[in-house]
Chains A and B, each alone.
Chain A
Amino acid sequence: MYKIERMKNIFIYVCSCFLCIVSVLNTNAQELSNPEKLSMPLYQGSFIGLNLAPSVESFFVPSYFSTEVSIDVSLKQKYFPIVEAGIENRKLLTSDYTYNSSGYFAKFGINYNFLKTSTLVPNNIFYIGARYAIASTTYELATQVTESYWNEQGEVSLMPTKSLATWGEIVLGVRAELFPSVLLGTSVRYGFAPSLSNSLLGYPTFIPNYGLFLPNKWLFTYSITYKLPF
């Protein structure tokens, strides 16, 4: 019950932070608004993106596989509601332990574009945003006991265990058109307040997309995005 309450609080906190930022920025934006912006249709296009970092890492690290895609919509070139989702599998094998995990994640949020609206370069954005993230993972661990006060030898295993995690993110990023309808982007993110749904003694070492279970951390994305032709 406490965990659910905490997840709810994180969600409210992320949304509140974002709304505060947007309302401040929007005040300035209104001062700079022009007739072109006022007459602009609400829907300005949809974008589908691939986060390159996990895909590249998956290519070079055999024990790791992850992929992440995103879909966002441009509303008056200012607001970009976005959904990001993906999967992540890890298999760590050493002489001391074997760790396997597989999971998936989804992030919901919105970006706010700082740049002035433009009909000439409508797809370039420099944005701040917020995300509410949720991830599910199943993990198992087998470890060899070799050194201890008790001089024990043997293997101890943790059976496959499922865990649900949530956290919040504040995002600052940029996305620019490289070729017509093809955009490159990068973002830096501050992930915070990770929370697990269960109160088991152990915990998943890696949360899909968030990584090590730390109280807060910096995250980075490098993405290639395609503007859908509708």
Chain B
Amino acid sequence: MEITSLVKNIYNRLIVFICLACIFSACVEKECITYKHVLVGIELIQDTSNTVYTADSITVKGVGSDEIIYDNAKNISSIYLPLKSVSNTTSFDIVLNETPFVLSITHQNIPQLLSIECGTVMFHKIEDATIDGEIQAVIQVENTHVQNRENEKHIYIRL
């Protein structure tokens, strides 16, 4: 009698666990909820005071593209730009407070599968960044890894 009771008890527990496990298994998220944008974050820094510099206006366009990314944006201290996924060099035409210059970034492209629901994104490893133009500034690569992290800064432009 005691054996039957104990075995019955065990099987009851087993069934409860299987049911709970099935319920938990069914709760798998099927939609992509991951942040998918991979953008290089560039921050303007006032070199003398080492504080964030707020530009009166900034316009940014990719070299070779017709689409403007920032169109005369006002009071801005950081910008987020897309890098090329196939080519290893990306250049941007930037007009900062009416001073034009070209920012060029060389990088490796590393594909990453986020999940079946989210698909792939392209990570980048920054190798070098240069400025060409009339602006008096120093460029500093602070973080070489460009991933799908929101508001992360990678390059400082010291003015």
Contact = CB atoms under 8 A, between A and B. Distances in A.
Interface string B81-96: 0101111001000000
A212 to B, nearest CB: 6
A152 B87 contact: yes
Majority DSSP secondary structure for residues of B touching A: mixed
Contact of B111 (A153, A158, A188): A158
What DSSP secondary structure best describes chain A's contact surface? strand
17 contacts: A121-B7, A121-B10, A126-B13, A142-B111, A148-B82, A148-B84, A148-B85, A150-B85, A152-B87, A154-B85, A186-B17, A188-B20, A188-B24, A201-B124, A203-B112, A205-B115, A220-B24
Interface of B: 2-3, 6-7, 10-11, 13-14, 17-18, 20-21, 24-25, 62, 64-65, 67, 69, 82, 84-87, 90, 109-116, 119-120, 122-125, 145, 147
Interface residues of A, number: 41
Contacts of B119: 94, 96-97
A187 B6 CA distance: 19
B17 A145 contact: no
A205 B116 CA distance: 9
- Sorted nearest first, the 10 A-B pairs with minimum C-beta distance are A176-B10, A154-B86, A143-B111, A205-B113, A220-B21, A143-B120, A145-B85, A149-B82, A152-B86, A202-B110
Nearest to A101: B113
A102 interface: no
Contacts of A201: 110, 123-125, 145, 147
Contacts of A158: 110-111
Given A97-B111, A201-B145, A202-B111, A145 B86 contact: yes
B78 to A, nearest CB: 18
A153 B86 CA distance: 8
Contacts of A188: 17, 20-21, 24
Contacts of A186: 14, 17-18, 21
Given A99-B113, A152-B84, A201-B110, A118 B6 contact: yes
A25 interface: no
A97 B115 CA distance: 12
A126 B115 contact: no
A124 interface: yes
Contacts of B111: 97, 141-143, 156-158, 202
Interface string A28-40: 0000000000000
